[in-house]
Amino acid sequence: MYEVKFNIVTPLWTGDSERKGGTVRETGIIGSLRWWYEILVRGLGGTACDPTNTLCNNDAFCDACSLFGCTGRSRKFKLEVVMPEEKKGESDDKTNVLGFMLKDGSVTLKFVPLKEIEGEEWVLLNETIKLIARYGALGGRTAQGNGVIKLVDNENHLDRLASKYNACIPAFLRPAKSFDYLQGKEFYDLRDFVSLLYVLEFDESIDMLRDSLDINSHLSVLWNRYHVLPIAPNVRRALRSSTISKDLFGGKGRGSRVFVSHGYTDEHSENTVRFRIFAFVRGKEEDRKKFCQTVESTLRDGLGEFLIRTSKGKKGISVKVEPFQTVYGEQIIANMRKGGDR
Ligand SMILES: [Zn+2]
């Protein structure tokens, strides 16, 4: 059995459009894990279908369906979500936008094998979880702030397995060209991935100036209770105002390719939060570099305008936005191939 323990950093959404987000549902976690597993597998040259529109079946299936199942083929594992004892999660069902938060304690995911899981699949699953925790987000509504997690135990026995299996993974994966029904689709792919970590610094404590921040009152509970600063909508508005292609933000039945977290306090700072942006920018390396440069200049020069309420007439609040870390999917892939840690 394989266990992963993590803290919830920004609210975790595992509901669907009909359901409330105030619990952690296994199906929501599995769906998200699969989504990231697909991204990793494609980036490594393997094959992953879109499970909502696929011809995979028990006779012919992609690398993701091999582990997660498809029509006529069951998933190879059962997932158990274990909550900390006596620490019930809090949520605000009235607003239905917050997702699930824990004041203290960690969530544990237990992966119980139901069939034999290949060593390569364990390693890919472990890499998937690290990818989510380090550069992405777990669950749903991750384009709107939710899903940042922090692993509690970074070391586990699968890390030791990784050096043994990483070299075997390319041969283990099924080449995409052998699947006709997967050709010509615009899938999310780790090769197109970029993750940007930002530090947002105010010149006075956030508690003091929060009334001046243009934050939805439904969301302000997040700061009051958890010190999560719900700025994802502001960051998205700023980015949409830039020269970044509108297509990347989704719409017309297409999902967003740009994801933005809320602000979270890593260092218990009174005037600083971090947030992350990750995106899937198709095209060449230059296109991704240009995307990162545009994000940086847009946020540095313009985020304040989208964050501070001007109607209140409070002037002179200074906002500093600094990039902290930029990681490209190709770097993650290269490091994995070397068998090293990132
Ligand atoms: Zn499939």
Whether the pLDDT of residue 89 is over 80: the answer is no
Q: How remote is the CA of residue 175 from the centroid of ligand 1, in Å?
A: 13
Percent of the chain topping pLDDT 90: 64
The CATH architecture one would assign to domain 190-329 is 2-Layer Sandwich (3.30)
**Contact assessment for residue 90 and residue 225, using Cβ atoms and an 8 Å cutoff:** yes
Task: Report the pLDDT value the prediction gives residue 217, as an integer from 0 to 100.
Answer: 80
Per-residue confidence band for 92, with pLDDT thresholds at 50, 70 and 90: very low
203 or 37, which is more confident = 37
pLDDT digits (tens, 9 = 90+) for 269-307: 889 999 999 999 999 999 999 999 999 999 999 999 999
Residue 314 pLDDT: 54
Q: In the chain, what are the domain boundaries?
A: 2-182, 190-329
pLDDT tens-digit readout, 11-39 = 999 986 666 656 788 999 999 999 999 99
Predicted local confidence at residue 210, as pLDDT: 81
C-alpha 174 – ligand 1 centre gap (Å): 11
pLDDT confidence bin for 340, thresholds 50/70/90:
low
65 C-alpha vs ligand 1 centroid, how far in Å?
4
The domain 2-182 is placed in CATH, from the list 3.30.830.10, 3.40.30.10, 3.30.70.1900, 1.20.140.10, at 3.30.70.1900
Distance 75 CA to ligand 1 centre (A): 12
Distance 48 CA to ligand 1 centre (A): 5
Distance of CA 160 from the midpoint of ligand 1 (Å): 28
- Cα 39 to averaged position of ligand 1 atoms, centre (Å): 13
User: How many angstroms does the Cα of residue 50 sit away from the middle of ligand 1?
Assistant: 7
User: pLDDT tens digits for 204-255?
Assistant: 999 888 888 998 887 888 888 889 999 999 999 999 999 999 999 998 888 9
pLDDT for res 96: 46
pLDDT for res 220: 83
| pLDDT score recorded for residue 21 | 58
Distance 277 CA to ligand 1 centre (A): 28
Mean pLDDT (the chain, rounded): 88
Give residue 64 CA to ligand 1 midpoint distance, Å: 6
**Residue 257: pLDDT above 60?**
yes
Expressed in angstroms and rounded, the spacing between residue 108 Cα and the centre of ligand 1 is 27
Instruction: For residue 67, report the distance from its CA to the centre of ligand 1, in Å.
Output: 10
Percent of the chain topping pLDDT 70 = 89
> How far does residue 110's CA lie from ligand 1's centre (Å)?
24
Write out pLDDT tens, residues 37-73.
999 999 999 999 999 888 999 999 999 999 999 999 9
If you measure from the C-alpha of residue 49 to the centroid of ligand 1, how many angstroms do you get, rounded to a whole number? 4
Matching fold, domains 2-182 and 190-329: yes
Whole-number Å distance, alpha carbon 203 to ligand 1 midpoint, is: 50
pLDDT above 80 (res 163) = no
Q: Is the pLDDT of residue 128 over 60?
A: yes
